[in-house]
Structures are given as C-alpha cells and as structure tokens.
C-alpha cells in the first residue's frame, strides 16, 4: 500500500516537473508554434498512460500611446492665401504600443500567459499641423493684432437727424440700438443676436466670427466669455487681423474692451447680403 502511494506521488511529481519545464521553454521563446504539443507520460508499474496536449499561442495586444499635440508652422500654406489666417494642414493621430503575450492552453483551457521579453513595439503619435497663409475657409482662425471699439458718433462718421448711421454692409445703427433683419429697431449693440465688428476686406461682409477668451464687458458680455460677431463694416485703420468692435457710442459706450492683442477669432460661417421685404440691406445667416 505504501509502495502504491509512493508511486502515485512520484508520478504526480514527474507530471508537474515535466509540465513546468515545457511551459517555461515555450514562454522563453525557445520554440514558436501554434501546433499542439503531445506529452506521453507513463510508469511501468502503473498500467496507465497520461496524454497531455499543450498549445502555445502568441497574442498581440495593442493599446493607445501618447497624446495628439498641435503644431503651428510659420511657413505659408499658399502664396495666394491670407498671411495672417491659420487653418489645419493635417490631422494628428494617437500612437500605439504593441506587446506580445505567450498563452498556453491544455485541452483548450487557458493555463496562463506571460509577456514575451523585448516584444513591445511603440509607434509615436503624430501631431495635428496648422499653418499660416490659409485660404478663406470655415474653421480657419487668426489672433487679433489689436481690438479697438467704435460708435456711430466717431470722427468722420455720418449720422442722420435721428441719430442713426449706416455701415458698409447696409445695416443701420444708432447710439443705443441696431436695426434688425426684419426692419425693426432693437435696443443694444447686437444684430439678430450677433455683435458687430469692422474687419479687413479679406473677410467678406456677413461672415460669422467666434471670439475666444476676449475681455469685453457690457451689453450681455463678461470678461473671458466667448461670443459671436458679424462682419458688417470696414475702417480706414483696420488692416490684416485688426478688429473694430461696435459699442454704440464712443462718448457713452455700451461695452468696454480690456484686451487688444492675442484674442483667438475663428471663421464659423459665411452669411449672405440680401434685401428684406422692405428693400433694406441685411445679412442672412442660415
């Protein structure tokens, strides 16, 4: 009886030792196969044969790697582009990290896995590239060289007997109100919900602009708050990325600006100049 128990202990120990040996050799990469490996084990004094079929599989695991950065090039995209206007040249992409694991199965049951040393491969992320010299497209943006303010009572501005003045686009203004697209006058400094600006001629009338991180306060605006404005006017001193923001009156402005340079301004949409049912010029934004 004792001899039989001893044989069983020796048999079990032999199986464990042999399994561990083969398992280690395969995981260390001494053999690379997906074919089952058959191990016959037997003891002469035991009328039993154990058949162990192992299968070793290499499994690749890929995970995202790094972050997408943004790069702004000084080179001009196009000789015919607008030098101070920026737009995207190419999209970036996340990198990846690939690791290879060796898995071992016994009769289709996963026994375990381990990372194969030196198997990892890293693909670096690529940046999103922007450049100056963009064509006039939605999504292009620029940084203000200076932001000034003006009113209908500015030097050289023409005001009628009702205290109203016009813009280059045809939209009418006064010291404290703006004529809307339907012909009615609304108190404040907005037109159909948009604030009003004068810009360089490179930006067409009725272009919708988004201002990011400005410092204009008053008439519904708080410092740092994003807002949308409509290009409705020009100015003799407004060139390139300069902006002149309409505040109603220069003597008693309805809003004040506290940041002149470096405000990000994006082209959101191109509107159209048309006439309303009263024959008045207006901006149409879809």
pLDDT by residue for the chain (286 residues), tens only, comes to: 555 555 555 444 555 455 555 555 454 444 455 455 544 445 445 455 556 677 888 999 999 999 999 999 988 887 889 999 999 999 999 999 999 999 998 888 888 889 999 989 999 999 999 999 999 999 999 999 999 999 999 887 888 888 899 999 999 999 999 999 999 999 999 999 999 999 999 999 999 999 999 999 999 999 999 999 999 999 888 999 999 999 999 999 999 999 999 999 999 999 999 999 999 999 999 8
Of 86, 117, 134, which closes a domain? 134
Residues 31, 59, single domain; the answer is: yes
Give the CATH number for residue 63.
Answer: 2.20.230.10
Residues 88, 153, single domain; the answer is: no
Task: Report how far residue 247's alpha carbon sits from residue 252's, in angstroms, rounded to the nearest whole number.
Answer: 9
Residues 67, 43, single domain; the answer is: yes
Quick check: helix, strand or coil at residue 25?
helix
Residues 8, 127, single domain; the answer is: yes
Give the CATH number for residue 253.
Answer: 2.40.40.10
Of 109, 134, 159, which closes a domain? 134
Residues 147, 225, single domain; the answer is: yes
Q: How many domains does the chain have?
A: 2
Tens-digit pLDDT profile for residues 223-279: 999 999 999 999 888 999 999 999 999 999 999 999 999 999 999 999 999 999 999
Of 105, 134, 163, which closes a domain? 134
Quick check: helix, strand or coil at residue 254?
coil
The range of the structural domain enclosing residue 25 comes to 2-134
Distance from chain centroid for Cα 219 = 31
Going from the C-alpha of 203 to that of each of 84, 93, 140, 144, the distances in angstroms are 12, 32, 11, 14
Residues 175, 280, single domain; the answer is: yes
Task: Report how far residue 126's alpha carbon sits from residue 141's, in angstroms, rounded to the nearest whole number.
Answer: 22
Residues 30, 113, single domain; the answer is: yes
Residues 207, 124, single domain; the answer is: no
Residues 61, 127, single domain; the answer is: yes
For residue 2, report the phi and psi dihedrals to the nearest 5 degrees. Answer: -65, -40
pTM of the model: 0.74
Residues 12, 51, single domain; the answer is: yes
Residues 150, 265, single domain; the answer is: yes
């Amino acid at each position: 009886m004792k001899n039989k128990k001893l044989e069983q202990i020796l048999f079990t120990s032999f199986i464990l030792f042999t399994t561990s040996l083969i398992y280690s050799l395969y995981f260390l990469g001494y053999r690379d196969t997906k074919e089952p490996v058959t191990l016959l084990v037997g003891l002469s004094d035991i009328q039993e044969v154990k058949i162990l079929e192992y299968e070793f599989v290499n499994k690749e695991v890929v995970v995202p790697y790094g972050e997408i950065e943004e790069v702004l090039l000084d080179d001009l995209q196009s000789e015919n582009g607008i030098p101070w206007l920026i737009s995207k040249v190419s999209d970036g992409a996340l990198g990846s990290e690939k690791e290879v694991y060796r898995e071992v199965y016994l009769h289709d049951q996963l026994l375990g896995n381990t990372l194969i040393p030196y198997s990892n491969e890293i693909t670096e992320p690529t940046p999103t590239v922007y450049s100056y010299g963009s064509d006039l497209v939605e999504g292009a943006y620029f940084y203000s060289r200076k932001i000034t303010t003006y009113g209908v009572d500015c030097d050289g501005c023409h005001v009628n007997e009702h205290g109203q003045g016009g813009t280059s686009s045809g939209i009418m203004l006064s010291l404290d109100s703006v004529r809307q697209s339907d012909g009615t006058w609304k108190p404040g400094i907005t037109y159909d919900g948009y604030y009003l600006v004068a810009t360089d001629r490179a930006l067409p009338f009725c272009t919708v602009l988004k201002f990011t991180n400005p410092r204009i306060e008053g008439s519904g605006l708080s410092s740092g708050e994003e807002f949308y404005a409509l290009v409705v006017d020009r100015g003799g001193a407004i060139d390139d990325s300069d902006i002149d923001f309409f505040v109603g009156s220069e003597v008693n402005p309805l809003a004040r600006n506290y940041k002149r340079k470096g405000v990000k301004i994006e082209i959101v949409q191109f509107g159209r100049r048309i006439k309303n049912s009263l024959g008045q010029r207006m901006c149409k934004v879809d």
